[in-house]
Structure 1
Amino acid sequence: MMDWITSIEGTETGQHVAMLLALTSALAHALFGALQKGRHDPWLTRGAIDISYGVMALPIALFVFPLPDAQLWAVMVGVFVIHALYKYLMAMAYTRGAYTVVYPVVRGCGPIFTVLGAGIVFGETFSGVQWAGTALLSAAILGLALYNLRGETVDRATLLSALGFAVMTGAVVSLYTVYDAWGIRLAENAFTFLAWFFVVDGLTLFPWIALRRWRRMADPPAPGPLMARGVLGGLIAFVSFSPVMLATRLDSVGEAAVLRETSPVFAAAIGWIFLRETVGPVRAGLMALIAAGAVIVELGG
């Protein structure tokens, strides 16, 4: 498998595969993001998800793929720090604002920051048409947040705090996207990086934060349903994060990041098809603009 991936890096086939991987990640990310909202505390949900994918990845990392070399272990330290910061900011945003407002702000800020970061680190360049597509996609996602905000009743201070954390989270999303792309390109075997990414990211911090928080609750949720949610989230996380990281090894980091941010379109489609949610003309129009922005980026290169 790794030999085939190496053989298509930088080729037209690699570009097509990267596009499919990024879109797969977008679909899974819509499901993954929804799991962090709901009746459970976001800190507890995140901890349950992390320990689930960490435990599932550990035997694969130890016995299936080659162990990381010293250089890759150093990269993993950065993975731990950046992703811990991301999860902290994401949880802080979710505890202050509605998912339907916070999530689009995070995803809307990410593409522009990522394209800029990929230009600095990898020397990638976007054409004027691609920048226009990125701006259209980001503006439409942020427009979705504004539209969803109409139905929320929160005080100004709480709203500003939630939006501030959401913007910071979007910046860190771009940071980890570029950093992870650098790491997976540095690794001789991409699957070694992916397997140890889930181990390091999953078992080192947030499960222990969640456990401590759960023990201190006056009325903690039952661990069974919480862990069931965690296992499901862990499985989705593999499909959410692995494909886009492989896509950044095969092709442009910026283009992969933009395609991943079509996840709100998939989220709306899932809600409409399976949950019978009403989309409405405004949301449908914004979804169309998000999709159009992604198409422009792909065709404008």
Structure 2
Amino acid sequence: MSDWILAAEGTEAGHRIALMLAIMAAVLHAVFGALQKGRHDPWLTRGAIDISYGVMAAPVALFVVPWPEPHMWIIFATAWVIHVVYKLLQAWAYTKGAFTVVYPVVRGTGPLFAVFGAWIVFGEVFTPVQWLGVAVLLSGIFGLALYNMRHLVAARETLHAALGLAVITGLFVALYTTYDAYGIRATADPFTFLAWFFMIDGFVMPLIALRRWTGMPPDLRPAPGPLMLRGFLGGIIAFFSFGAIMLATRLDKVGEAAVLRETSTVFAALIGVVFLKETVGPRRVALMTLIAAGAVIVEMGGT
């Protein structure tokens, strides 16, 4: 598998595979976000997810993939710090605001700064047509957030705090997207980066979640069984979502993958309607169409 990925780097076939991986990551990331915002406290859900994928990744990292090269340890340490801060901010934002408000702002802020990060770190340059696509996509994402804000009923008193946290979280999305792309390109085997990252990343949020769970009144504590089942499902989704976007950034341009992943906002809105019982109308459909159209323009406008 690693040899196949390495052989496809920088080729037309690699570009097509990266496109499919980015779209797959978008769908799965929307599912992941709804899973964290859903039934349980976001802090508890994130802790259950992280311990699940950390435990599942450990045997792969230790016994299956090649061990990291010496220079990778500082890269893992830095990536770990970035992701811990990102997850703390995301969980905090979800406790302050509605999913359909917070999620679009986070995902709208992320790709814009990721494009600049890819330019600074990797020398990637978007064409004028692709910048038009970014503008169309972002207008749809932020338009969706504004629409949801106007029709928000619950949690209006914490709306400003939620929006501020969402913007900062989006900045960290851009930071981890760019830095992780650097990390996965810095090792000979991309699956070494993925396995070791998941193992290292999986053992911070569970400690925070355990402390939060034990501090709850006994009658308010969620049952461990359903919570851990949600964590296991989230861990599987995280493998494929994060793994797909990281492989896409190794195969092709980081900026394009980052923008295409943000079509997750469309899928998140659909999840919000179907599973979280949130309403939708023609205006939101039009805004979601803008997001999808922007992604198509970015893809078609590449040189």
Q: Same fold (TM over 0.5)?
A: yes
- 1:194 & 1:132 partners in 2: Cα distance? 33
Is 1:21 matched with 2:21? yes
- 2:132 & 2:297 partners in 1: Cα distance? 8
In structure 1, the partner of 2:280 is 279
Asked if the contact 1:80–1:201 (Cα under 8 Å) also holds between the matched residues in 2, the reply is yes
User: Deviation of residue 274 (structure 1)?
Assistant: 7.4
Q: Secondary structure at the match of 2:17?
A: helix
Is 1:40 matched with 2:40? yes
- 2:273 & 2:212 partners in 1: Cα distance? 35
Q: Secondary structure at the match of 1:70?
A: coil
Aligned length: 300
Q: Secondary structure at the match of 1:36?
A: helix
Using the size of structure 1 for normalisation, the TM-score is: 0.96
Asked if the contact 1:53–1:231 (Cα under 8 Å) also holds between the matched residues in 2, the reply is yes
Unaligned runs of 5+ in 1: none
Matches within 5 A, 1:83-232: 83-153=83-153, 158-203=158-203, 205-218=204-217, 219-232=220-233
User: Deviation of residue 297 (structure 1)?
Assistant: 0.4
Asked if the contact 1:112–1:135 (Cα under 8 Å) also holds between the matched residues in 2, the reply is no
Task: Provide Cα deviations, 1:57-106, integer angstroms capped at 9, x if missing partner.
Answer: 11111111011121111111011100000001101111111111000100
Task: Provide Cα deviations, 1:145-174, integer angstroms capped at 9, x if missing partner.
Answer: 111112324677621111010000000000
In structure 1, the partner of 2:79 is 79
Q: RMSD between aligned alpha carbons? A: 1.6
User: Deviation of residue 277 (structure 1)?
Assistant: 6.7
Rate the CA distance shift 1:292–1:233 in 2: closer, same or farther, 3 A.
same
Rate the CA distance shift 1:94–1:274 in 2: closer, same or farther, 3 A.
closer
Structure 1 stretch displaced more, 246-255 or 62-71? 62-71
Task: Provide Cα deviations, 1:206-232, integer angstroms capped at 9, x if missing partner.
Answer: 100100111111131111111111001
Matches within 5 A, 1:224-263: 224-263=225-264
- 1:120 & 1:170 partners in 2: Cα distance? 18
- 1:278 & 1:89 partners in 2: Cα distance? 26
Rate the CA distance shift 1:7–1:47 in 2: closer, same or farther, 3 A.
same
Asked if the contact 2:111–2:262 (Cα under 8 Å) also holds between the matched residues in 1, the reply is yes
Q: Secondary structure at the match of 1:214?
A: helix
Asked if the contact 1:52–1:230 (Cα under 8 Å) also holds between the matched residues in 2, the reply is yes
Structure 2 residue identity aligned to 1:246: L
Asked if the contact 2:130–2:297 (Cα under 8 Å) also holds between the matched residues in 1, the reply is yes
- 2:156 & 2:45 partners in 1: Cα distance? 27
Asked if the contact 1:86–1:172 (Cα under 8 Å) also holds between the matched residues in 2, the reply is yes
- 2:227 & 2:278 partners in 1: Cα distance? 25
Using the size of structure 2 for normalisation, the TM-score is: 0.95
Asked if the contact 2:114–2:177 (Cα under 8 Å) also holds between the matched residues in 1, the reply is yes
Asked if the contact 1:42–1:91 (Cα under 8 Å) also holds between the matched residues in 2, the reply is yes
Asked if the contact 1:49–1:229 (Cα under 8 Å) also holds between the matched residues in 2, the reply is yes
Rate the CA distance shift 1:19–1:153 in 2: closer, same or farther, 3 A.
same
Q: Secondary structure at the match of 1:187?
A: coil
Structure 1 residue identity aligned to 2:243: S
Task: Provide Cα deviations, 1:104-147, integer angstroms capped at 9, x if missing partner.
Answer: 10001111100001000000001111111111111211111111
User: Sequence identity of aligned pairs in percent?
Assistant: 66
Asked if the contact 2:23–2:261 (Cα under 8 Å) also holds between the matched residues in 1, the reply is yes
User: Deviation of residue 3 (structure 1)?
Assistant: 1.1
- 1:268 & 1:237 partners in 2: Cα distance? 19
